[in-house]
Chain A
Amino acid sequence: MIRAGLVIDELHGSLYRHLAVRADLEPGSQQLLVGGIGSGKTTELLLAESWLRSQEGAVSLYIDITAETDLSGFNEGALLAGFGRHLYRYVLSKFSADAGVQQTTVKETKQAIQEFCYGKTETEWVPYPDEPQDWEPEAEDFSDSDGYYRTREVPGKLKPPIPAIRRDLQSIGQTLSRLLALIREQKSDVVVIFDGLDRLLVPEKFVAAIYQDFRVLRGLKVSVLATAPISILYGAAQQISEQFERVHHIAPVPAAEPLLQTVLRRRCSDLSLLSEANVARLCTYSGGVLRDLITLSRDAGEEAYVAGANEVRDQDVEYSAKQLGTAYLRGLGPEQIAALWTLANTRSLNLKLPAVLELLVTRRVIEYSTTDFRVHPALMAVLPQQEEAKSQ
Chain B
Amino acid sequence: MSTIESARGLALRLDQAVHRAAGEIVYDSVNSFFINLRAYLQVQDDTLGANNNLFAILRRIDDQSGLFLTNLGPAIDAGDTANHFHFPSGARLSFGVTLRRGHQCALVSYRFHYVHPGPEARFFRFDLNPQPHEDPLSEPRCHLHPGFDQVRLPIPALSPVEVLDRIFFVLDEGPRR
Contacts and interface: CB of A to CB of B under 8 A. Distances in A.
B89 interface: no
B31 interface: no
Interface string B65-103: 000000000000000000000000000000000000000
A331 interface: no
Nearest to B46: A305
Contacts of B104: none
Contacts of B52: 308
B36 interface: no
A308 B55 CA distance: 12
Nearest to B55: A306
Nearest to A309: B51
A308 B51 CA distance: 5
A308 B56 CA distance: 13
Interface string A306-325: 00100000000000000000
A316 B173 CA distance: 33
Contacts of B53: 308
Nearest to B45: A308
Nearest to B50: A308
Contacts of A308: 51-53
A301 to B, nearest CB: 15
Interface in A301-349: 308
B41 to A, nearest CB: 13
A308 B53 CA distance: 8
A142 B53 CA distance: 78
A287 B53 CA distance: 34
A215 B53 CA distance: 62
Interface string B42-62: 000000000111000000000
A27 B117 CA distance: 75
A146 to B, nearest CB: 72
Interface string A86-126: 00000000000000000000000000000000000000000
A23 to B, nearest CB: 49
A308 B52 CA distance: 8
A30 to B, nearest CB: 52
A308 B85 CA distance: 14
B53 to A, nearest CB: 7
Interface string A283-310: 0000000000000000000000000100
A12 to B, nearest CB: 39
Interface in B140-173: none
A218 to B, nearest CB: 57
A125 B53 CA distance: 76
A308 B54 CA distance: 11
Nearest to B42: A306
Interface string B17-52: 000000000000000000000000000000000011
A333 to B, nearest CB: 37
A360 B157 CA distance: 65
A308 B46 CA distance: 9
A148 B108 CA distance: 80
Nearest to B51: A308
A89 to B, nearest CB: 44
A308 B50 CA distance: 8
A230 to B, nearest CB: 42
A310 to B, nearest CB: 8
A359 B167 CA distance: 57
Nearest to A308: B51
A272 to B, nearest CB: 15
A22 to B, nearest CB: 51
Contacts of B51: 308
A224 B28 CA distance: 59
B158 to A, nearest CB: 29
A308 B49 CA distance: 8
B49 to A, nearest CB: 9
Nearest to A310: B51
Nearest to B54: A308
A62 to B, nearest CB: 39
A213 to B, nearest CB: 51
B64 to A, nearest CB: 34
A97 to B, nearest CB: 52
B48 to A, nearest CB: 12
A325 to B, nearest CB: 26
A327 B60 CA distance: 35
A194 to B, nearest CB: 43
Interface in B115-155: none
Nearest to B52: A308
3 contacts: A308-B51, A308-B52, A308-B53
A-B complex: 3 closest residue pairs judged by Cβ atoms: A308-B51, A308-B53, A308-B52
